[in-house]
Amino acid sequence: MTSEDLCFTAGGERLAATRIVSRSGKAPGVVSFHGLGVTANRGRIRYLLDHLAEHGVSSICFDFSGNGESSGEFASSSLRIRAAESLAAAKLLAETEPRAIIGTSMGAHLAALVSPAIRPSSLVLFCPAAYPEQVVDEKFDASFVKFNNRVLAPEALRASPAFQALRRFTGDLLVVAARQDQVIPAAVIDLYLESAALARTRRVIWLDGSDHFVHPWLQQHPAERAAVLQAVRDTILGLPERNRRTEPA
């Protein structure tokens, strides 16, 4: 396994990225979208991407504008801007490899949103957030956070663009959700599964004891981490017989 830092541009911003290449040398077929917040960055998912590389799967992760090592101001970004950056990152993926998107929180919303354009064979969503159409151009300032917290009720999200896009998804869907998530209600997870009615397989893994910050939690809980890594690996490698179930909440 090798890794290489690089940059690409989107909307006039310079976005920092890392390419993680497996020993096979295959070009990346997986792209990862991190979550919302000024401290979010591409490094939090490396434990998972390194694991995939050990099993022959190469990937790309990057910092959205205003995060990590990328240019731009966090408070000047928006969901629409980040959707465009997501599509720009996907252009770094190999054309010939089966494609997969891994998204965390806001990144999961974006993964579902852009899936019709990227056409991944699998989606892996960690503690997926969802946003209504009316906030796509809202800047990520204090008012966005306040409004976001107010409208996250499932009834207000049923028409979310992410769910509309997910209704066309026909690949394998894996959702990793946290029992003690104080940000994403369990009913939002239900909406993700409901919206993916055409998916070849759907699976949700519930993590008892985890809060919304699922990646640090997994790294401190080896048994759960091993189970999630295997599920992610199986989903991306196209082993649906292991994932052809929806686990009860």
Tell me how many degrees the CA angle 232-247-199 measures, rounded to the nearest 5.
65
Residues in the chain: 249
Residue 248 located in a structural domain: no
Q: What residues make up the domain containing 120?
A: 2-238
Residue 245 located in a structural domain: no
Tell me the per-residue pLDDT of 174-218, one tens digit each, with 9 for 90 and over: 999 999 999 898 999 999 999 999 999 999 999 999 999 999 999
Tell me how many degrees the CA angle 183-112-72 measures, rounded to the nearest 5.
75
Residue 175 located in a structural domain: yes
Tell me how many degrees the CA angle 66-67-71 measures, rounded to the nearest 5.
50
Task: List phi, psi (to 5°) of 94.
Answer: -65, 145
Residue 77 located in a structural domain: yes
Residue 243 located in a structural domain: no
Sequence-distant (≥ 6) Cβ neighbours of residue 95 within 8 angstroms: none
pTM of the model: 0.93
Tell me the per-residue pLDDT of 47-93, one tens digit each, with 9 for 90 and over: 999 999 999 999 999 999 999 999 999 999 999 999 999 999 999 99
Residues 201 and 224 sit within 8 Å (Cβ to Cβ): no
Q: How many CB atoms lie within 10 A of CB 137?
A: 10
Q: What's the domain count of the chain?
A: 1
Q: What is the CATH number of the domain that holds 192?
A: 3.40.50.1820
Residue 247 located in a structural domain: no
Residue 154 located in a structural domain: yes
Q: Tell me the DSSP string of 56-116.
A: T--EEEEPPTTSTTS-S-GGG--HHHHHHHHHHHHTTS-SSSPPEEEEETHHHHHHHHHHH
Residue 191 located in a structural domain: yes
